[in-house]
């Protein structure tokens, strides 16, 4: 029988933090992918995601996360106690509803995220298609999760 303290051991905390991080990243990626999608939403059958794309996708997501957190914190400071609205990069209404300085932060983040995706060897359309696939493919989700963990443990590889 497990003791309560066993649930808070270092390996369990690391696993829980990793899982929480992964699900937070996937939620963030879902929002970001909406930001890059074009107004015409025709999704043909996407080719299978290969190992290189999985690694590139995971690297892009990890590279975007610090910028996302920074932008969120900066916007939060500007808005104060108010609720931060959902910001979708390709929806000018979601950005225009922000105070001017917050708009600049959001636009900068969107531009930076798009560049990160491209710098990691993926086009925006492919990044979005992989994000959509993640929502429907448990095996792909597991592969991306494992890649995220591996990249965090050995960031130079």
- For 136, the domain range is 47-157
- Tell me, yes or no, whether 91 lies in a domain: yes
pLDDT tens digit sequence for 52-66: 999 999 999 999 999
Residue where the block lists tokens 């225009």: 96
Q: How many domains does the chain have?
A: 1
Q: Is residue 144 part of a domain?
A: yes
Region for 80 from its dihedrals, namely left if φ exceeds 0, alpha if ψ lies in -120 to 50, beta otherwise: left
Judge whether 69 lies within some domain. yes
In this predicted model, what pLDDT tens digit does every residue of 7-57 receive, in sequence order?
444 455 455 545 555 555 555 555 555 545 443 344 456 678 999 999 999
Q: What is the pLDDT of residue 88?
A: 76
pLDDT at 137 over 90: yes
Tens digits of residue pLDDT in 80-133: 877 887 887 767 888 888 889 999 999 999 899 999 999 999 998 898 899 889
Asked whether residue 19 is domain-assigned, the answer is no
């Amino acid at each position: 029988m497990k003791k309560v303290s066993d649930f808070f051991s270092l390996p369990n905390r690391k696993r829980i933090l990793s899982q929480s991080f992964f699900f937070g990243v996937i939620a963030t990626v879902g929002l970001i992918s909406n930001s890059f999608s074009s107004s015409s939403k025709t999704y043909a059958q996407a080719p299978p995601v290969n190992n290189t794309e999985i690694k590139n996708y995971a690297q892009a997501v990890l590279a975007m996360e610090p910028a996302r957190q920074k932008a969120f914190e900066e916007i939060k400071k500007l808005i104060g106690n108010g609720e931060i609205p959902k910001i979708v990069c390709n929806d000018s209404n979601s950005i225009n509803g922000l105070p001017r300085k917050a708009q600049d932060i959001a636009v900068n983040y969107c531009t930076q995220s798009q560049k990160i995706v491209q710098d990691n060897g993926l086009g925006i359309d492919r990044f979005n298609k992989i994000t959509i696939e993640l929502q429907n493919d448990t095996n792909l989700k597991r592969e991306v999760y494992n890649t995220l963990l591996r990249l965090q443990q050995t960031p130079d590889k």
